[in-house]
Every structure is written in structure tokens, then in C-alpha cells.
Amino acid sequence: MMGGLVFMVNEKMFCSLHWDKKREEDLMMARVGFEKANALINAGKCYPMDFTGRPMKDYVFIPPEGYDLEEDLVFWLDLCHAFNDKTKKSKKRKK
């Protein structure tokens, strides 16, 4: 679905690495929740996650300079983990 490497925790999407053709860079996708995503986007730390022209509300894209240092990566992974604990896993599709 993402065209990149996706990490799952508790059978829920956690984060991903994605090659963005528009920006020509590897972006980290983080699932942090709507309120946190808006605050971080407004602070200029990340971009809305947008594949199709319609941003996904709980997700953000982080440019490489935002996750290249260990403490930066830990910051994003901690946010993903906190939100992951609050979410329900998707229902399995019937075959």
C-alpha cells in the first residue's frame, strides 16, 4: 500500500519509510494522532501525509533531517508508541 517499508506494532500500522517522488527524498511516516499531528505540522517539524491529494488525519511525513539523529528518531517513535496504545486494530477482511 505505502510503496515503502512499513512497521507494525500490535497488528497496527506504527511507522514507515517511504521514497517520495515529489520531494525526491526518503520520508518517515509516523502515526501520531490528529491533534499531535496538527501541532507538529504547525510547528514546522513535519508535513501532512498526503498520497492522493487528501491528507490522512493521524499521520505525518518527517523529512530526513527530522529523524537522522538518534534523539530525533526516538522522539518520533515515542509519539507513535503513545498513539498506538490508544488505537484499535483494524478488523480483518473476509476472504
Summarised one tens digit per residue, pLDDT across range 31-43 is: 999 999 999 999 9
Which three three-digit cell numbers place residue 9?
506494532
Supply the DSSP symbol for 64. Answer: G
pLDDT at 14 > cutoff 80:
yes
pLDDT category of residue 64 using cuts at 50, 70 and 90? very high
Q: Which distant-in-sequence residues (6+ apart) come within 8 Å of 49 by Cβ?
A: 29, 55, 56, 59, 60, 61
Mean pLDDT, range 9-33, rounded to an integer? 89
DSSP 40: H
pLDDT digits (tens, 9 = 90+) for 78-90: 999 999 988 877 7
CB-based contacts of 30, cutoff 8 Å, min separation 6: 15, 46, 59, 60, 62, 76, 79, 80
How much is the pTM? Answer: 0.84
